[in-house]
């Protein structure tokens, strides 16, 4: 029986295993560095988003709708929008209670009230957008699925150009609560 020569074959296998382990260490180190970099970038993105969030979101005040009579298919929402920093553009709104929500403006022209659909409304930090009954901009609810009843709430989402959407609940209030009484 022939004896293998000493040192023949064994060192080569050990060297191959050693080289394989070295390659695995390099791959593992590279992968862990890549994952660490990705994690840091994710945290930086989250931190930057958190820093921008307060000024990016529109602030909504005095949001209300007036009740509609039975069978009515349209209604209106009024509110005041402000922004902490910069400018914003309101491009529309949506609600599950209406087929469509359009931006409208009402103006008195030649002793006649006229309503027009508009594509967008600008808001700036120094000029809030106020919507009120009796004229000016408002959100027109078209194709109501049910009448707007005083005391109920209307879910509404406002859509902006290059800013996050804002969701809110709009109170449906009695006319007497919202319309000033004339003397």
The domain locations on the chain are 8-54, 59-178
Compute the distance between CA of residue 149 and CA of residue 174 in angstroms, rounded to an integer: 9
Is the pLDDT at 40 greater than 70, yes or no?
Answer: no
Q: Rounded to whole angstroms, what are the CA distances from 32 to 20, 28, 36, 42?
A: 18, 6, 6, 15
Task: Give which of 86, 100, 96 is closest to 140, Cα–Cα.
Answer: 100
β 166-172/59-65 pair status: parallel
Do 53 and 76 form a contact (C-beta atoms < 8 A)? no
Q: What is the pLDDT of residues 63-106, one digit of tens each?
A: 999 999 999 999 999 999 998 888 899 999 999 999 999 999 98
Q: State pTM to two decimals.
A: 0.66
106 or 157: which carries more pLDDT confidence?
Answer: 157
Percent of the chain with pLDDT over 90: 45
Would you say the C-alpha torsion 130, 155, 59, 92 has a positive or negative sign?
A: negative
Give the CB-side neighbour count of residue 124, counting CA atoms within 13 A. 2
Question: Which of 29-33, 125-129, 151-155 is the least confident region?
Answer: 29-33
Q: What is the pLDDT of residue 139?
A: 96
Task: Determine whether domain 59-178 maps to CATH 2.60.40.1890.
Answer: yes
- Report the distance separating Cα 113 and Cα 125, nearest Å: 30
CA dist 156 and 112 (Å) reads 30
Q: What is the pLDDT of residue 2?
A: 59
163's tokens: 């800013």
């Amino acid at each position: 029986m022939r004896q293998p020569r000493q040192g023949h074959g064994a060192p080569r296998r050990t060297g191959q295993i050693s080289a394989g382990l070295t390659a695995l260490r390099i791959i593992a180190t590279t992968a862990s560095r890549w994952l660490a970099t990705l994690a840091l970038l994710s945290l930086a993105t989250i931190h930057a988003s958190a820093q921008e969030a307060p000024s990016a979101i529109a602030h909504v005040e005095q949001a209300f709708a007036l009740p509609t009579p039975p069978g009515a298919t349209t209604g209106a929402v009024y509110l005041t929008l402000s922004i902490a920093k910069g400018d914003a553009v309101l491009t529309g709104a949506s609600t599950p209670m209406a087929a469509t929500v359009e931006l409208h403006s009402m103006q008195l022209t030649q002793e006649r009230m006229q309503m027009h659909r508009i594509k967008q409304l600008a808001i700036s930090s120094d000029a809030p957008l106020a919507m009120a009954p009796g004229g000016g901009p408002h959100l027109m609810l078209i194709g109501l699925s049910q009448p707007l009843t005083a005391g109920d709430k209307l879910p509404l989402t406002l859509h902006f150009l290059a800013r996050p959407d804002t969701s809110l609940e709009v109170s449906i209030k009695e006319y007497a609560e919202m319309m000033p009484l004339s003397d």
